[in-house]
Amino acid sequence: MLTPKQQELLSFIHDRLEEGGVSPSFEEMKDALDLRSKSGIHRLINALEERGFIRRLPNRARALEVLKLPDAMHRAPVPPVALAAKAAAPIPIAANDVLEIPLHGRIAAGVPIEAMEGQTMLSVPAALLGSGDHYALEVSGDSMVEAGILDGDFALIQRTDVAREGQIVVALIDDNEATLKYFRRDGARVRLDPANPAYEPQVYDPRQVRIQGKLAGLLRRYN
């Protein structure tokens, strides 16, 4: 049985999915439920996930899926809907903890640009990160907008040098320029796909491409 706040949040997420297929941000959920901080939203989402009403989808920014609705809502279960949302990961017990991770310059979500190393640190809610070593890159460009990744967002990257088909990765091209794209195999070659029809896929010899991490989450600033 859900608490009133848990049911209210589930209903809000479900209604937003039904309206436009886009998940509400944590800020929007906080405002809708009239809560003082987003840590309360993290706890409610964790509770809904533990009870099997929602789940987080792996390797997508802030991806949520509504699995079922309580009988009290008098609605039939809805099919899974993939959203531009946080990548799934084991959630720390203290969901409102904040971690400091390195911010390494800007990453292109369009034509590859140099990913600059830096010593700046970014404060990130621990609930957005899973296990492993992470860093952040500021997104530049709009080629991943249909994956919910916008210009000016902070991409939270888990360090890895391997990638699976369909993952969003940081790919270093010719040891010089980096880009944020979907990773695909195209025969014997590597294809880096945008999430915007205005951009063409980028196809490379595997020797030109080095994986530097995969997308683990996303932070967005609202001005």
Q: What is the CATH number of the domain that holds 30?
A: 1.10.10.10
Is 37 marked active-site?
A: no
Does residue 215 surpass a pLDDT of 60? yes
In a domain, 37, yes or no: yes
Asked if residue 102 and residue 69 are part of one domain, the reply reads no
Is 11 marked active-site?
A: no
Asked if residue 190 and residue 135 are part of one domain, the reply reads yes
pLDDT computed for residue 223 by the predictor: 61
Please write the tens of the pLDDT for every residue from 63-118.
677 888 887 665 444 444 433 333 344 433 344 467 888 888 888 776 555 555 55
Report CA 49 to chain centroid distance, whole Å.
Answer: 17
Name residue 95's amino acid: A
pLDDT computed for residue 2 by the predictor: 84
Q: Which of 23, 140, 143, 214 is catalytic?
A: 143
In a domain, 187, yes or no: yes
In a domain, 154, yes or no: yes
Number of structural domains, the chain? 2
pLDDT computed for residue 85 by the predictor: 39
Q: What is the CATH number of the domain that holds 139?
A: 2.10.109.10
What tokens were used for 42? 């993290």
Q: How confident is the model at residue 39 (pLDDT cuts 50, 70, 90)?
A: confident
Q: Which of 30, 39, 140, 181 is catalytic?
A: 181
Burial of 206 (0-12, 13-18, 19+ CB in 10 A): exposed
157 and 214 Cβ atoms separated by less than 8 Å: yes
- Say what the pTM is: 0.55
